[in-house]
Amino acid sequence: MQADGVDASLVNDVHEAAGFAGVIFLGGLADFKTTDQALDVNRRAFEAARSLACSESETQLFVTVSDLGGHFGLDGSASTVTMWSSGLTGLTRTASLEWPACDIRAIDIERGTQDAWSVADAIATELIAGGAEPEVGLTADGTRRVLITAEAPVQTGGRLPLGPSDVVVVSGGARGVTATTMIELAGASGATFVLLGRSVLADEPASCAGATTDAEVKKALLSDSLAAGEKIDPKELSWRAQGVLAAREVRATIASIANVGGKARYIAVDITDQPAVAAAFESIRAQEGPITGVVHGAGVLADKLIAEQSDEAFHKVFTTKVKGLQVLLDATAADQLKVLCLFSSVAAHSGNRGQAAYAIANEVLNKVASTERARRGSSCVVKALGWGPWDGGMVTPALKAHFEEMGVSLIGLDEGAKALVDEIASSQVGEVELVLGGGLLGTPPQ
């Protein structure tokens, strides 16, 4: 770049630089020895972007560079370790929406046997003389590729690979939209579902009988506390009420699965707690039998613009999705899975203001799904479902109103549940990373 007259310098940390007009994040080119090293690149890229967002310079350029084989990991050729570094496009897509005046790109280059100079030359050439496309893949043979999103209607009426003897473990499956889809899948398969979530399935106080809304449950719990002479602060009251409502939702999901012909059990466990999940899986094998399906639906939101996102919030959002997936894959390393279904989001595909951490995490899910598909072969249906917003789950009434104002149509509960069953039953097993949703898809990355 210097040879081309660009005032460029190499630093280990954006904080070491001053007066810069752009950042090219090269962390994705590292030779990762462990999954944790690869995973950490997502956080470091986010930190570089946040430093840039907080800097006083008039930023003109933000670029991430990865080595997922020059195909952004879509061909399954990147190593199973490197694949965990694949969230960078979730970051650039979100940054493009948050910083519309900035030139933002993601380059995926196949290092292969190329020496460092050749790699550097290819990156510099792309930045200085390449086209305007925000996402460019460069393979070692000199081929340049860009990503497009193609419409691909699902072929319905296929054979579901699950039946009554199958056991499906579902993170986040007792509540929210994952629960809705699992009820549909139970009706179609008659399988057994073991649902994992953090909520504790405790008996509720007798005073809550008949109280249905959040306010009514709080009122009942407050009168219990007053009667017992206990002082309770509003935060604690809210937490207890949420516990009562969450346990009800879990019980309702178990009952609904049984009503449609499936079986269900709930285990209270945090999906990021590896030893606890391993123990839960042992109990499932002993009680329900061999595990043949995994659905990863656990997720949390903590939306903030890149410049304002705390390390803690980034960690919470990223870890629930990504460490959760790592733990699930480790726990089922020796199981012959027929289905591996990851709940991803359209935010990974298109970016979303305030959702950098969420987009990065879901993009890792998308790309790890491609690797899993390549590794497991055709005996396992692998899907990363990039849902648009649903009319339920984490879409609160306020968010719903926001989407409606933007003219974005929400995925209905029945519609989304049927879509999941159709995808798993579809013969289109090579279509791993998908986006599903009405009018929100917007302009795909060109």
C-beta of 37 vs 149, nearer to ligand NAP: 149
Contact flag: residue 199 with ligand NAP (CB under 6 A) = yes
Contact flag: residue 395 with ligand NAP (CB under 6 A) = yes
Contact flag: residue 298 with ligand NAP (CB under 6 A) = yes
Number of residues that bind ligand NAP (CB under 6 A): 28
C-beta of 119 vs 342, nearer to ligand NAP: 342
Q: Give the x/- contact pattern for ligand NAP in 229-268, rule: CB under 6 A.
A: -----------------x----------------------
Q: Which of 137, 197, 351, 445 binds ligand NAP (CB under 6 A)?
A: 197
Q: Which of 28, 176, 351, 354 binds ligand NAP (CB under 6 A)?
A: 176
Contact flag: residue 300 with ligand NAP (CB under 6 A) = yes
Q: Which of 198, 248, 263, 418 binds ligand NAP (CB under 6 A)?
A: 198
C-beta of 32 vs 387, nearer to ligand NAP: 387
For 360, how many CA atoms within 13 A lie in the half-sphere containing its CB?
A: 32
Q: Which of 366, 390, 408, 422 binds ligand NAP (CB under 6 A)?
A: 390
Contact flag: residue 171 with ligand NAP (CB under 6 A) = yes
C-beta of 84 vs 343, nearer to ligand NAP: 343
Contact flag: residue 389 with ligand NAP (CB under 6 A) = yes
Residues between 344 and 363 with contacts to ligand NAP, criterion CB under 6 A:
345
CB of 413 to ligand NAP, least distance (A): 10
* Listed ranges 62-70, 168-176, 228-236, 368-376: which one lies at the site for ligand NAP (CB under 6 A): 168-176
C-beta of 284 vs 395, nearer to ligand NAP: 395
Contact flag: residue 177 with ligand NAP (CB under 6 A) = yes
C-beta of 119 vs 331, nearer to ligand NAP: 331
Q: What is the 3-state secondary structure (H, E, C) of the chain?
A: CCCCCCCCCCCCCHHHCCCCCEEEEEEECCCCCCHHHHHHHHHHHHHHHHHHHHCCCCCCEEEEEECCCCCCCCCCCCCCCHHHHCCHHHHHHHHHHHCCCCEEEEEEECCCCCCHHHHHHHHHHHHHHCCCCCEEEECCCCCEEECCCCCCCCCCCCCCCCCCCCEEEEECCCCHHHHHHHHHHHHHHCCEEEEEECCCCCCCCHHHCCCCCHHHHHHHHHHHHHHCCCCCCHHHHHHHHHHHHHHHHHHHHHHHHHHCCCEEEEEECCCCCHHHHHHHHHHHHHHCCCCCEEEECCCCCCCECHHHCCHHHHHHHHHHHHHHHHHHHHHCCCCCCCEEEEEEEHHHHHCCCCEHHHHHHHHHHHHHHHHHHHHHHHHCEEEEEEECCECCCCCCHHHHHHHHHHCCCCECHHHHHHHHHHHHHCCCCCCCEEEECCCCCCCCCC
CB of 167 to ligand NAP, least distance (A): 18
Per CB under 6 A, residues contacting ligand NAP are 171-172, 174-178, 196-199, 246, 270-272, 297-300, 320, 343, 345, 387, 389-390, 393-395
